Amino acid sequence: MIINHPLLGPRDAQEFTYLGDAGLINRPDWQAENAADLFYEYLHVRDNPAGEHRELWYHEHGDRSWLVVTRSTTTHEITKVEMARDIARGLEQDQ
Per-residue pLDDT tens over the stretch 21-71: 888 888 899 999 999 999 999 888 877 778 999 999 999 999 999 999 999
Task: Determine contact, residues 49/89, Cβ cutoff 8 Å.
Answer: no
Phi first, then psi, for residue 82 (nearest 5°) are -130, 155
pTM of the model: 0.80
Give pLDDT, residue 93. 52
